[in-house]
Amino acid sequence: MAGFFARLEKRLERLVRSSPALERLARGLHLRSLLHAACSHRQELVLGRRLGPDAATTATAVPTGFSILGRGEVEDVRGFFLAVNPGQVDSLAGLYDYGCRVLFMFVAGQPAGYIWYVDAQQERPLPELAQFRIALTGRDVYLFNFYVSPAARGSQQATKLLRLALGRLGAQRYEQAYGCVERGNVPARWLYSSTGWTSLREVSVWTFLSCLRFAGGRWFVNPKVLRPWRPSVPMFDYIPLAGAQAFRMEAPRLPAR
């Protein structure tokens, strides 16, 4: 299916390029952005990493604080989420309902970044896991929505936050961590490779008209399309059309130590 859409996109591009008149028309109509809105594609890498004492954090010289925020405390940093990721603000409480937790970073007392995680004890399967077909079992943990504010970037704060998260999770009962990164996200990929993650497989993600998504061989739907009359309900990234339980989920295999 993904191959079909990739071929279709290439054919359309060849067609447009075949005639200067068509190319001018395409440019005038902003065809590329129209096409992108109609159908966009990204390639995600599913990553894995074993956890253990080696993942422990090192002391930091910079005045940085980290805390795992409870449901009430996350409301205290709502302003930060609103500034950096407005789409997620209505979902904060909902993410807690799913059993997710957030490790938050403060630099000089100010919110500077976060990383969310969830384990196999999640209340309901996180839709994102279905898209990437990741099945979490006993001592697995999935890290997602990793973010560091632009002001704190480029100074190894992101590396510290990630190492600290891995250290804390390794010191708890977790043995394997999973995550995903977009193929084209160079800083994030660099960061993951320098902190010991391995790429396990690739997943093609196609999105149509911001309504439907085809990922990992299955169809998903934007919940906003299903419940447009209830916009305040916490919404999540595309949910499975056929119900998460019906999916073939895989426990990703990490290479032996």
Ligand X SMILES: CC(C)(COP(=O)(O)OP(=O)(O)OC[C@H]1O[C@@H](n2cnc3c(N)ncnc32)[C@H](O)[C@@H]1OP(=O)(O)O)[C@@H](O)C(=O)NCCC(=O)NCCS
Binding residues for ligand X, per CB under 6 A? 146-148, 153-159, 181, 185-188, 190-191, 194
Report in angstroms how near the CB of residue 178 gets to ligand X at its nearest.
12
| 102: Cα within 13 Å, side-chain hemisphere | 29
**Cβ nearer to ligand X, comparing 122 with 145:** 145
**Cβ nearer to ligand X, comparing 178 with 206:** 178
The amino acid at residue 206 is W
Walk across the sheet containing 212-215 and list its strands: 64-69, 101-107, 110-119, 140-148, 176-182, 39-50, 198-208, 212-215, 218-221, 239-240
Report in angstroms how near the CB of residue 144 gets to ligand X at its nearest.
8
Residue found under tokens 């005639």: 19
Report in angstroms how near the CB of residue 176 gets to ligand X at its nearest.
18
**Cβ nearer to ligand X, comparing 70 with 187:** 187
**Cβ nearer to ligand X, comparing 26 with 197:** 197
**Cβ nearer to ligand X, comparing 46 with 188:** 188
Report in angstroms how near the CB of residue 81 gets to ligand X at its nearest.
13
Report in angstroms how near the CB of residue 30 gets to ligand X at its nearest.
26
**Cβ nearer to ligand X, comparing 157 with 222:** 157
**Cβ nearer to ligand X, comparing 116 with 214:** 116
**DSSP output for the chain:** -HHHHHHHHHHHHHHHHT-HHHHHHHHHTTHHHHHHHHEEEEEEEEEEEE-SGGGPPPP-SS-EEEEEE-HHHHHHTHHHHHHH-HHHHTTHHHHHHTT-EEEEEEETTEEEEEEEEEETT-SS--HHHHHTTBPP-TTEEEEEEEEE-GGGTTTTHHHHHHHHHHHHHHHTT--EEEEEEETT-HHHHHHHHHTT-EEEEEEEEEEETTTEEEETTEEEE-HHHH-TT-TTS---S-EETT-GGGS--B-PPPPP-
Report in angstroms how near the CB of residue 84 gets to ligand X at its nearest.
9
Report in angstroms how near the CB of residue 191 gets to ligand X at its nearest.
4
